[in-house]
Amino acid sequence: MTLLRDADLADAFDHAARGYDRLVGLNAGYHADLRRSARRLRLPDGGAGLRLLDLGCGTGASTAALLRAAPLARITAVDASAGMLERAAAKRWPDGVTFVHAPAERLAAAGVTGPFDAVFAGYLFRNVADPDAVLAAVHGLLRPGGRLAAHEYSLSGSAAHRAVWSAVCRAVILPAGRCT
């Protein structure tokens, strides 16, 4: 399997943006899992006075999860895919939520500067060419004592589990994504 990186990956997400919410909606636990990860940041006082970075916000599901966990926070939501970001920005958001089009590797060039009290990165690190460099950049954006939630999933090392997941992707997820 070939991994897409950088501009090719952003283009693929641009293409999938129109049907992305419908596709992830088929996964009953998708939104609940994002909300759980956002709650695990344990942000005090409803996020009052806090600055949060939603890195790789996609169509805004992680942004919504952060808002639910910290409704009073100011959130900067960033994504490399213009199509995904357009979908996110078109939704109804309270004041204090801003969207920025930028790859995770070039946040400073897009004017995204810290310090942030917390960073939420949902399904992000698997999609960057140099995860260590992005993690170091995120660390530099956090205030001392700031928090990071890296929301991901993984499969066990079992070849059988990987084979089942690959079959589900080929037979269900990819065809459903093409129907957008």
pLDDT in tens, the chain (180 residues): 445 455 655 555 555 546 555 666 556 677 688 899 999 999 999 999 999 999 999 889 999 999 999 999 999 999 988 888 998 999 999 999 999 999 999 999 999 999 999 999 988 888 888 999 999 999 999 999 999 999 887 656 667 756 665 666 566 655 655 555
| Domain boundaries, position 106 | 6-153
Burial class (CB in 10 A: 0-12, 13-18, 19+), 158: exposed
Inter-residue contact 26 to 176 (CB < 8 Å) = yes
Q: Could you write out the three-class secondary structure of 67-135?
A: HHHCCCCEEEEEECCHHHHHHHHCCCCCCCEEEEECCHHHCHHHCCCCCEEEEEEECCHHHCCCHHHHH
CB-side neighbour CA atoms (13 Å) of 63:
28
In a domain, 160, yes or no: no
Q: Is residue 162 part of a domain?
A: no
Tokens of 121: 């990165």
Q: Is residue 116 part of a domain?
A: yes
Q: What CATH number does residue 126 fall under? A: 3.40.50.150
Instruction: For residue 171, tell me if it sits in a domain.
Output: no
Is residue 158 situated within a structural domain? no
Return the pLDDT at 60.
93
Domain tally for the chain? 1
Whether residue 178 is contained in a domain is answered as no
